[in-house]
């Protein structure tokens, strides 16, 4: 599920990745909660819009909460959503 700040909600499908919630609180900021922290690369498929590849990075960028325990960072390598 993706919850936007305006209240709209759409479904997000991750390939081979169990996901709890993806919440976009502002432009360029996303908090992603995974149930599996071993994944290094995930792909967000938004319904009706192009795919947005997301890759983990050692450089601080976007906060990502894994299992509400470990904290990593995620970097958007390409934004194709309009």
Is residue 32 one of the residues assigned to a domain? yes
Kindly give the confidence (pLDDT) of every residue in the chain, 82 residues in length, as a single tens digit, with 9 standing for 90 and above.
444 445 444 444 444 444 444 444 333 334 454 555 443 344 444 444 444 444 444 333 344 443 333 333 343 333 344 3
Rounded Cα distance between 57 and 51, Å, is 19
Is residue 81 one of the residues assigned to a domain? no
Rounded Cα distance between 69 and 35, Å, is 10
**Contacting residues for 67 by C-beta, under 8 A, at least 6 apart:** 33, 34, 35, 36, 37
| pTM of the model as a whole | 0.21
Is residue 71 one of the residues assigned to a domain? yes
In the chain, the number of structural domains is 1
Full domain range(s) for residue 15: 2-76
Distance from the Cα of residue 14 to its chain's centroid:
9
Is residue 82 one of the residues assigned to a domain? no
């Amino acid at each position: 599920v993706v919850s936007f700040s305006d209240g709209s909600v759409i479904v997000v499908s991750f390939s081979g990745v169990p996901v709890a919630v993806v919440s976009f609180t502002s432009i360029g900021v996303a908090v992603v909660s995974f149930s599996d922290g071993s994944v290094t690369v995930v792909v967000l498929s938004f319904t009706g819009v192009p795919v947005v590849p997301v890759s983990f990075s050692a450089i601080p960028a976007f906060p990502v909460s894994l299992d509400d325990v470990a904290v990593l960072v995620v970097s958007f390598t390409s934004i194709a959503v309009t």
